[in-house]
Amino acid sequence: MSEKEYRKDPPVASNAILNGLISGYYKEIMDAKNEKKTVCWEYQFQIAFLYAFENTIPVNFQLLTPPVENYARVAEYVEGKWELPKDLCSEVKAQIGHTLMPSLSKFKIPEPDYLITNHAACIQSPKSFDFLADYWNKEHYFMDNPIPQENPSASATEDHIEYVSMQFEQLIYEIEQKYHTPFNRKHFLKIIEGTLQLLVIYNEVLKINKYNPASIDGMDTLRFLLPLTTLNIAREYTKIMQLYIFLYNEIFERYLNNEKNGKKKEKCRLYWDAHLVPYKVNFLKNTLAKYGASIILNSAYVATCPYTREKEFLFDYPLTLEQVKNKFRQSTLFQNNQELLNYESLPTSELLARINAFTSGPKESLEKRCEKVKNIIEDFSIDAVIMNLDQNCRFFSLRQRQLQDYLVNELAIPTLVIQVDSLDNRQFSPAQFSTRIEAFLENIT
């Protein structure tokens, strides 16, 4: 069977629109100093919060990570020039090296006026921001945001809210006073509401993959979350909405054509757990297609977005802006998260703390994680799982071995475990990687 029958090409037209939006963001960053705007480097902070400060340009941490093909040079430069802690992950080394080796950047990232991080998830990248703040002699604001345990008591929840609220209050005061950038509360709320609308459409796009054959490769979906993590949604709302509507229609048209032309169904539908291996995407696509297999969904999406189980399509094809405005409040995703829009009457610092707690969510127990993956396996008709114990991200690898035991012993789902650093390809063995993937597919197909 020809692999072309199973391989899914990226959505070319939607990617072109997305590239235009991201290019505009790059240009805004490059022009920031000339336009006397405040530049803030951020890692895993609420992008809506930072855009709410007037005349401020947040630089998303993803821009501070070099292209994979440059990683070896960057890492060797950092390791040879500075004495760094041995436990630093690849991403931290990449951020330090890339920002201090501007010749490797596609554009010159302006020096920050300040840096800001949040330890709600990763505890590694604040180390790189500490290093860079010292190097530039700039302020590094650190939000101590302990993730509440699952099913916390009401008093513990309120203690958490009060603790984070006090930090937000101090943070706003210091940034407004030091950088003369007033915080615009209405702008913040507009971004939150716009984000919910866009997530509803994004979830509808992924819902299309519940039908066999899938209409978009699960390795191509995550890139379309970039607008939500980098762009000023309140200001760029119309352009981003047009992108998401176009993406939905492009993928839904594929679904209709698959149905009409009787396209062959996948022999094996895969769920990828943990980070992808960006320097092996094309190899994976070609290898999987050779065995009639596809990655339907990856866990990076599930970790970023609320997951909903309904299979019926919310929108009619073709999707229009009018439909979005009329129907997005009917979605399960919106109904589960509409509490975010009910905090408007609260004082600003408490408003921010409650939205922060709501979006961060409680720390996920092993039981909850297993239940979520079980639902995904059922809803997307997943046949097997590939699990990467990513040496670059220890946080994401937590409990993966227990999840593997659950998948194999409780659900009888074939599961392949690999150990590949998603950034550092210096120790990568193409032959070993290829052999393990192909052997696994041979057994299950």
Q: Measuring CA to CA, how many Å separate 189 from each of 50, 194, 238, 243, 257?
A: 12, 9, 16, 21, 39
pLDDT by residue (tens digit) across 117-130? 986 656 777 888 88
Distance from C-alpha of 232 to C-alpha of 57, rounded to nearest angstrom = 9
What share of the chain in percent tops pLDDT 90? 53
Region 260-267 average pLDDT: 90
What Å distances lie between residue 97 and 45, 111, 234, 377, 443, CA to CA?
22, 14, 33, 39, 42
Task: Please report which confidence band the pLDDT of residue 193 belongs to, taking 50, 70 and 90 as the band edges.
Answer: very high
What is residue 154's predicted lDDT score, i.e. its pLDDT? 46
With cut-offs at 50, 70 and 90, classify the pLDDT of residue 397: confident
Q: Taking 70 as the threshold, does the pLDDT of residue 360 lie above it?
A: no
Confidence label for 263 from pLDDT (cuts 50, 70 and 90):
confident
pLDDT tens, position by position, 35-50 = 999 999 998 778 899 9
pLDDT at 152: 44
- Six-digit token pair at 369? 């994680």
pLDDT at residue 361 is higher than 80:
no
DSSP for 28-79, written as a single string: HHHHTTTTT-EEEEEESS-HHHHHTBTTEEEEEGGGGSPPGGGHHHHHHHHH
Note if the pTM is more than 0.75.
yes
Of the candidates 26, 112, 20, which has an alpha carbon nearest to the alpha carbon of residue 63? 26
* pLDDT reading at 156 higher than 50: no
Does pLDDT of 151 surpass 60? no
Sequence length of the chain is 445
- 45-216-253-226 Cα dihedral, nearest 10 degrees: 20
User: Can you name the residues that pair with 270 across neighbouring β-strands?
Assistant: 295, 384
Res 2: pLDDT? 56
Domains (range + CATH), the chain:
22-179 (3.40.50.11890)
Taking phi over 0 as left and psi of -120 to 50 as alpha, with beta for the rest, 49 belongs to alpha
Output 378 or 365, whichever has higher pLDDT: 378
- Exposure class string for 262-276: b at 16+ Cβ within 10 A, else e: ebeebbbbbbbbbbb
Preceding amide of 318 cis, omega within 30: yes
Distance from C-alpha of 17 to C-alpha of 180, rounded to nearest angstrom: 34
What digits encode the pLDDT tens for the residues 163-190? 999 999 999 999 999 999 999 999 999 9
- Spatial CB neighbours of 63, under 8 Å, sequence gap ≥ 6: 26, 29, 109, 230
Position 60 pLDDT exceeds 70: yes
pLDDT of residue 324: 95
Strand partners, 225: none
The order of strands in the sheet holding 139-143 is 56-60, 38-43, 114-118, 139-143
Confidence (pLDDT) at 128: 82
**The pLDDT value given to residue 303:** 61
Residue 116 DSSP one-character state: E
Report for 93-107, 157-171, 296-310: range of highest mean pLDDT: 157-171
Model pLDDT, residue 1 = 47
DSSP for 250-319 reads HHHHHHHHHHHHTPPPPSEEEEEES---GGGHHHHHHHHHHTTEEEEEEHHHHHHS------S-SSPSSP
